[in-house]
Structure 1
Amino acid sequence: MTSTITRRMVGAVVATGLAATGTFAMSGIANAEVGTGNTAASSVSAQATQNFGLSTTEAKVIQGKVLKKYGYTGTKFPGKIDGKLGTNSWKAFQVYLKKDYGYAGKIDGDPGKNTIKALQRLLRHQVGAKLTIDGDAGPKTQAAFKKYALKLSKP
């Protein structure tokens, strides 16, 4: 009994922490008793928000200065400038990356490996980031993304 309560509390704390970071938010609820094999899960979207290290303020800059030009907040990819780079933000970003930075995938709002490779090319060009084009949004890519947002925030 105590171990079941502990597992549920730990799961709730982890889920709350992930959602609070702004880099991962769940759109469904999953109930699972860790280690028991008992799971009852509803639909969970692992890619609801992916800011790749940007703060809410930095993500708002990206949404307002870049993505708005490519359909975000409009009828094509409706959304608010809320600092959460979700599916429609990434769809607009993919349109931009396709136009100028070699993105050749579907406009699906999933910031997967090909989207990240195109983002890395943009960051090399826009802020001189010395990145390996590998599709991994690691610390160097995240730092360059922050630098890009800072560059855009200046008048």
Structure 2
Amino acid sequence: MRALTKALVSATTAVGIAVGGLAAAGTAMAAPASAQQQQQAASAEVAPLAVNNLGLSQAQAKNVQRWLATHWDYNGAIDGYLGTNSWKAFQRCLDKHWGYNDAIDGIVGPNTIKALQRLLHANGFYNGAIDGIAGSATKAAFERWANKV
């Protein structure tokens, strides 16, 4: 009987160690997933600041950035990526002359697009509806304008 009790205690101890080791291994394996989730969350926070070239090539976007630097206090990189700072400068222009009446936040929403459509229309590049939708006609007009500035 004493041998049987000793065997059961040994087996229980071995199982306990194994389970504890697996639990620790599970925790160790979960850490990279947690770090990955944090990285994805950080990326999601950056999403609103993403580049929005509205169909422009990098060269055309550089033309726009140079124009913004000359006329609208844009002091960011001339890199061909219309990001938040490029659009904030553009919104200052659109606010002053083209009926933009929203926050200067660099987000390209319907009000930014409507004001851009007004600018493009007044300069003979766009003849579509002033609807705040960056459709193919708006993008094509923006490309033509970007080639001229």
* TM exceeding 0.5: yes
The AA in structure 1 aligned to 2:47 is A
Instruction: Provide structure 1 residue ranges, at least 5 long, that are not aligned to the other structure.
Output: 1-30, 33-38, 74-78
Superposition deviation, residue 42 in structure 1: 1.5
> Would you say how many aligned residue pairs link Structure 1 and Structure 2?
112
**Which residue is equivalent to 2:141?**
144
The AA in structure 2 aligned to 1:63 is Q
| 1:31-42 pair list within 5 angstroms | 41-42=40-41
Which secondary structure state, in structure 2, belongs to the residue aligned with residue 52 of structure 1? Answer: coil
Cα deviation digits, residues 29-73 of structure 1 (max 9, x gap) = xx68xxxxxx98312233310000000000000010234421111
**Which residue is equivalent to 2:130?**
133
Cα deviation digits, residues 6-48 of structure 1 (max 9, x gap) = xxxxxxxxxxxxxxxxxxxxxxxxx68xxxxxx9831223331
Superposition deviation, residue 150 in structure 1: 1.3
**Which residue is equivalent to 2:19?**
none
Taking the aligned partners of 1:114 and 1:142, their CA distance within structure 2 comes to 15
Residues 125 and 145 in structure 2, CA contact (< 8 A), matched pair in contact too: no
Superposition deviation, residue 126 in structure 1: 1.4
Superposition deviation, residue 148 in structure 1: 0.2
**Which residue is equivalent to 1:120?**
117
Taking the aligned partners of 2:66 and 2:83, their CA distance within structure 1 comes to 14
Q: 2:89 matched to 1:87?
A: no
Which secondary structure state, in structure 2, belongs to the residue aligned with residue 42 of structure 1? Answer: helix
Residues 127 and 147 in structure 1, CA contact (< 8 A), matched pair in contact too: no
Taking the aligned partners of 1:83 and 1:70, their CA distance within structure 2 comes to 17
| 1:69-88 pair list within 5 angstroms | 69-73=71-75, 79-88=76-85
**Which residue is equivalent to 1:24?**
none
Taking the aligned partners of 2:93 and 2:133, their CA distance within structure 1 comes to 19
Taking the aligned partners of 2:128 and 2:83, their CA distance within structure 1 comes to 24
Root-mean-square deviation (Å): 2.0
**Which residue is equivalent to 2:99?**
102
Larger radius of gyration: 2
**Which residue is equivalent to 1:10?**
none
1:58 to 60, 75, 82: 60
Larger strand proportion, structure 1 or 2?
Answer: 1
Superposition deviation, residue 127 in structure 1: 2.8
Larger helix proportion, structure 1 or 2?
Answer: 2
Q: Which runs of 4+ in 1 moved over 4 A?
A: none
**Which residue is equivalent to 2:47?**
46
